[in-house]
Amino acid sequence: MDFEYSPQVQTLRQQLESFIDRYVLPYNSAWHRSVAQGVYPPPFMEDLKALARSEGLWNLFLPGLRDDEPGEGLSNLAYAPLAEIMGRLPWASEVFNCSAPDTGNMELLHLFATPEQNRRWLRPLLDGEMRSAFAMSEPDVASSDPTNLQTRMHHEGGQLVLQGRKWFITGAAHPNCKLLIVMCRSGDEGGDKHAQHSMVLVPMDTPGVTLVRNIAVMQHQSPEGHCEITFSNVRVPVTHLLGQEGAGFAMAQARLGPGRIHHCMRTIGQCELALTLMCERTLERQVFDKYLADFANVQEWIAESRLEIDQARLLVLRAAWRLDQEERTQSRVDVSAIKVVAARLQTRVVNRAMQVFGAMGLSPDTPLAYFWTWGRAMQLLDGPDEVHLRTVARHELDQARACRGATAAYFTLPEQLLAEPRIR
Ligand SMILES: Cc1cc2nc3c(=O)[nH]c(=O)nc-3n(C[C@H](O)[C@H](O)[C@H](O)COP(=O)(O)OP(=O)(O)OC[C@H]3O[C@@H](n4cnc5c(N)ncnc54)[C@H](O)[C@@H]3O)c2cc1C
């Protein structure tokens, strides 16, 4: 395995870093001020998007783009280090049209939309003219197990009718959010539990769609929103069904793999920034006649953080590479693994940085408090850690089952006892 970034990726990394330094970071204070005043997205966002597009830094995430679609058509492996750079500044992804959940939604539409759905929804998303959200989780059922989902869809008079309640729907409060991709129960109880759900394209302004509230995550209220939404007798034409009826689960799998890799790489970018901030702080802050950097425990925090970040990055890159190779089973397990590793990494590394910063680390004056909150949220969003650990454990156990007894020779029991494998 070659661990070097390709020449193309190295060039794009330099371009992206330089673009962010020159044009995006100088707006950071203005972005926060604007959002605090309720002006979102800030007026300069469209100019930044146009500039990024003109410099070839647009839709960097989507492999398999057609020639007539805007973007670079990078593989997951090539995009991952770029997501890391964007991740350092959480609002930066929008400048490059690489924000969640649009990236996952564009992947989904790219794979399953009809030509008419493409024209109406995918193309404006690729052009950055609108935003979208993915509505799966529900307050009334344990959404870690999506077979529980209860929002119903049925056919009536040539239309699809939706009824239900969703929550924590990221992006739905963005003023440009025009599309909800809604996961609904369309089949009868009984039968294959994984063939009873469908995805429906619901325009945000459809009568019966109500944005009830934007839910704060810990103390943080995100301007694009993690929203509770009700669907009350919502009617859309049957042509708004995405893919096959009953194929919602299979399609969700296709969407979630790359999206999770993007989340993980953005996390790694935030951890890198937290580590840099931590190191700089330890070199300038003195206690008891020594710099913080001179204390053994602080050095250990720094070293542990470096080791953990590098391990996580390698694991994420391998998952991205396997996804590109279309090693479906293995990449699914890898994606589950990195989702757990990256979320835990973020709370651990950022926690150390916060401690080094003292009280300031808990204030909004540094990005650390937000990074920690996001790391905590990562342990739940896109499936809680426990579900992903279950996927990894099941894969290990399947492998062990397939070669049961093969380890017998490693035992040093008397030979007559080894004749029959004793491992259960
Ligand atoms: C910031 C944020 C953004 C989000 N964005 C979106 C979005 O855009 N769209 C969307 O649809 N949803 C979104 N979600 C919701 C998220 O996907 C769900 O919260 C998540 O899937 C867990 O579902 P739940 O909250 O219903 O927890 P539950 O399913 O009730 O699970 C509760 C707990 O049970 C335990 N558990 C579950 N399964 C197992 C298991 N197999 N083994 C052991 N323990 C287990 C875990 O500890 C878990 O935390 C978002 C959530 C957050 C926090």
Say if residue 59's pLDDT is above 60.
yes
Confidence of residue 44 (pLDDT cuts 50, 70, 90): very high
Distant-in-sequence, close-in-space partners of 76: CB < 8 Å, separation ≥ 6: 63, 258, 261, 320, 321, 323, 324
| Cα(291)–Cα(385) distance, integer angstroms | 37
Report which protein residue has its CA nearest ligand 1's atom 20: 383
User: What lines the ligand 1 site, CB under 6 Å?
Assistant: 101, 134-137, 142-144, 168-170, 217, 226, 377, 380-384, 386-387, 390
| Cα(41)–Cα(47) distance, integer angstroms | 12
Domain at 7-126, CATH homologous superfamily = Acyl-CoA dehydrogenase/oxidase, N-terminal domain (1.10.540.10)
Say if residue 187's pLDDT is above 70.
yes
Domain at 249-402, CATH homologous superfamily = Butyryl-CoA Dehydrogenase, subunit A, domain 3 (1.20.140.10)
Report which protein residue has its CA nearest ligand 1's atom 28: 142
More confidently predicted of 422 and 103: 103
Confidence of residue 421 (pLDDT cuts 50, 70, 90): low
| Cα(38)–Cα(29) distance, integer angstroms | 14
Give the mutation target among 105, 168, 374 for probing the ligand 1 site: most ligand atoms within 8 A of CB: 168
State the pLDDT at residue 360.
Answer: 98
Say if residue 380's pLDDT is above 60.
yes
Give the mutation target among 131, 144, 344 for probing the ligand 1 site: most ligand atoms within 8 A of CB: 144
Instruction: Give the percent of the chain with pLDDT over 90.
Output: 86
Report which protein residue has its CA nearest ligand 1's atom 44: 386
Confidence of residue 219 (pLDDT cuts 50, 70, 90): confident
State the pLDDT at residue 330.
Answer: 85
AA letter at 302? I
| Cα(65)–Cα(109) distance, integer angstroms | 12
Confidence of residue 14 (pLDDT cuts 50, 70, 90): very high
> Cis peptide leading into 90, omega within 30 of 0?
no
Confidence of residue 191 (pLDDT cuts 50, 70, 90): confident
Report which protein residue has its CA nearest ligand 1's atom 50: 381
Residues 100 and 262 sit within 8 Å (Cβ to Cβ): yes
State the pLDDT at residue 341.
Answer: 98
| Cα(250)–Cα(227) distance, integer angstroms | 25
SS3 380: coil
Distant-in-sequence, close-in-space partners of 263: CB < 8 Å, separation ≥ 6: 100, 339, 342, 378, 381, 382
Q: Whose structure tokens read 């300069």?
A: 44
State the pLDDT at residue 420.
Answer: 64
Average pLDDT of 318-334? 88
SS3 332: helix
Domain segments of the chain as ranges: 7-126, 131-242, 249-402
Report which protein residue has its CA nearest ligand 1's atom 12: 137
Confidence of residue 254 (pLDDT cuts 50, 70, 90): confident
Which range (236-245, 375-384, 397-406) has the least confidence? 397-406
Confidence of residue 406 (pLDDT cuts 50, 70, 90): confident
| Cα(101)–Cα(319) distance, integer angstroms | 20
Instruction: Give the percent of the chain with pLDDT over 70.
Output: 98
- Mean pLDDT, the chain, as a whole number? 94
DSSP 217: B
Ligand 1 atom nearest residue 100's Cα: 8
Average pLDDT of 192-207? 94
Say if residue 422's pLDDT is above 60.
no
Say if residue 423's pLDDT is above 60.
no
* Cα 378 to middle of ligand 1, angstroms: 10
Distant-in-sequence, close-in-space partners of 124: CB < 8 Å, separation ≥ 6: 130, 178
Q: Model pTM?
A: 0.94
Confidence of residue 93 (pLDDT cuts 50, 70, 90): very high
DSSP 379: T
Domain at 131-242, CATH homologous superfamily = Butyryl-CoA Dehydrogenase, subunit A, domain 2 (2.40.110.10)
Q: State the virtual CA torsion across 193, 343, 110, 129 in degrees, nearest 10.
A: 130
